[in-house]
Structure 1
Amino acid sequence: MTETPAPPAPSDALRFAFGTLTVLPVRVTRWDRATARGGMLCAPLAGMVVGLCAAAVGGALLLLGGGPLLAAVGSAAVPAALTRGLHLDGLADTADGLGSGKPAEDALRIMKQSDIGPFGVITLLFTLLAQVAALHELYAEGWAHGALAAAVAAAVARCALTLASRAGVPAARPEGLGAAVAETVTVRAALLCAALVAAGCAAAGAVFGPYGALHAGLAALLGLGLGELLLGHCRRRFGGVTGDVFGALAESAGVTALIVLTLG
């Protein structure tokens, strides 16, 4: 008789989130569907840590006299470094797959290739430029504005992954990270996580008053909304999600939140 595995502990979920979404020295001790569910629900926490690290680097560069542009570059580089550039790589591969205009099977094959095509290069270029430009504007207003933006963008980026892991969003391939986490999170839990992230962003923005709270909360919602639009398009084109699509969702949601924080 097969024994039912014990439910994962909270530490297992945190290890899964940090071990798969960052390069921090965390060993994943369990790799099953139940642990993946908890890990994807904890994804925004991993994002918050990444964002705080980015804010710390930006603040340090400002204190050392580097100016807002250098602080922006530093803050944009930290998330890339802490994820080994996997999300940026996923964004580029997804752009190549979508831009190819080919059927799902051929597009997925293009995405698996190690090289980056013209669509991927252009998408990476403008995404990184948008990140640095937005952070530069915010750091020019003061370290607190840039730090808030870095933290909000990183949390929103990872929350987009939680939403993409909900039931009803299948994997496009039978293997890979996308297949490991696809449909592990209930719709209710995913929506609750998104609501908590938006509320947390609004609470953080409240340090700048009621308008700051509204602005940060709106940035979170619009970032997640853009991620949902991209997710829907990828589902129609590829038949589901892949690890590359997860990376594209994270980068797209995060940069959208940054842009919204810059506006107004």
Structure 2
Amino acid sequence: MELDPDAPTARKDGPRRRFDEISLALVFLTRLPGVRTDWSRPLMSAAWAFPVAGAVVGLVGGGVAALLATLGAPPLLAATLGVAAAVLFTGALHEDGLADTADGIGSGRDRARSLEILRDSRIGAYGVLALIVSSLARVTALAALLEAGAWTAALPAFVLAAALGRGAGPAVMAALPPARDDGVGAAAGRPAPAGVAVALVLPLLAGLLVGGWPALPLALAPLVWLGWLALRRLGGTTGDVVGAAILLTETTALALLAMAWGGAA
């Protein structure tokens, strides 16, 4: 059997390629300064690294909240500023997706008009309500976790929730067809099954190790509902739907962890 002459090069390139995929996920999903990436790669080639970027988001938001609570800030204030830090760190990318998806799906219009609404920069009543509910849920859940333990409950919970949320994004893109041929969602490509599996297993395994089971697997249940709505109303997924899936999963995971860990305080 002949050996592939490029095989040694490919093996040497492996760690470099993984590092590039992590940097691609970080640059797309956060506003972390000083990170360069190769935009010639399709975004979903970095699907497996999405929870890595999510964990960084959780470290920022959870770290701010934990630090403020340690310095004497009331839990609700510390949680509000922690969630705000995470939103600023991501550039409100997923909040924008959630609002647009809520407006598009909630409009009750036909598929073509619903897709137009998703691209409209203006926000409607459904979008406002979705943002209010998700923000309140995250803030109150994080406040409860701060009372259970700033560094032992709130910080790891935010890291796990943010990581799982980002892992849910590629899963939605793999499960649903693109709703249109252009846009961010179509340009990102379809993730490989192995990348989707890693993106979900990494945060779930981390949750198992720190006692977040079965709260984290349950946080994926609303994705079935969102996927059904997107397929029925839009014909598939878009970049906004992926953003909505990420934020919906993160919010649900944080709420479930607050009930599991905060109630045991």
Q: Which interval holds the TM-score relative to the shorter structure?
A: 0.7 to 0.9
Q: CA deviation at 1:182?
A: 4.1
SS of residue matched to 2:237: coil
Number of the residue aligned with 1:18: 26
Length-normalised TM-score, structure 1? 0.87
Between 1 and 2, higher relative CO (CA 8 Å, sep ≥ 6) is seen in 2
Q: Deviations over 1:190-235 (max 9, x none)?
A: 23431232111221x2xxxxxxx1xx13222112222233123212
The partner residue of 2:60 within 40, 53, 61 is 53
- Cα 1:162–1:217 change in 2 (3 A) is farther
Number of the residue aligned with 2:4: none
The partner residue of 2:192 within 186, 192, 198 is 186
Distance 2:220 2:187 in 1: 22
Length-normalised TM-score, structure 2? 0.86
The yes-or-no answer on 1:116 pairing with 2:112 is no
Number of the residue aligned with 1:137: 144
Q: CA deviation at 1:48?
A: 0.4
Number of the residue aligned with 2:96: 89
Number of the residue aligned with 1:225: 221
SS of residue matched to 2:255: helix
Distance 1:190 1:29 in 2: 21
Number of the residue aligned with 1:261: 257
Distance 1:197 1:134 in 2: 19
Contact 2:105–2:114 (CA under 8 A) maintained in structure 1: yes
Contact 1:165–1:181 (CA under 8 A) maintained in structure 2: no
Q: CA deviation at 1:99?
A: 0.7
AA of the residue aligned to 2:228:
G
Q: CA deviation at 1:61?
A: 0.4
AA of the residue aligned to 2:19:
S
Which piece of structure 1 moves more, 71-80 or 89-98? 71-80
AA of the residue aligned to 2:188:
V
Number of the residue aligned with 2:181: 174
Correspondence 1:177-256 to 2 at 5 A: 177-183=184-190, 185-203=191-209, 205=210, 213=211, 216-256=212-252
Q: CA deviation at 1:37?
A: 3.1
Considering only CA atoms, is the larger Rg found in Structure 1 or Structure 2?
2
Distance 1:228 1:217 in 2: 20
Distance 1:12 1:125 in 2: 36
- Cα 1:130–1:116 change in 2 (3 A) is same
Percent identity, aligned pairs only, is 36
SS of residue matched to 2:109: coil
- Cα 1:181–1:228 change in 2 (3 A) is farther
Distance 1:121 1:30 in 2: 33
Contact 1:40–1:165 (CA under 8 A) maintained in structure 2: no
Number of the residue aligned with 1:68: 75
Q: CA deviation at 1:237?
A: 1.5
Distance 1:125 1:155 in 2: 22
Contact 1:178–1:241 (CA under 8 A) maintained in structure 2: yes
- Cα 1:131–1:24 change in 2 (3 A) is same
Contact 1:199–1:217 (CA under 8 A) maintained in structure 2: no
Q: CA deviation at 1:67?
A: 1.9
The runs of 5 or more residues in structure 2 that have no matched partner are: 1-9, 261-265
RMSD (CA atoms):
1.8
AA of the residue aligned to 1:43:
F
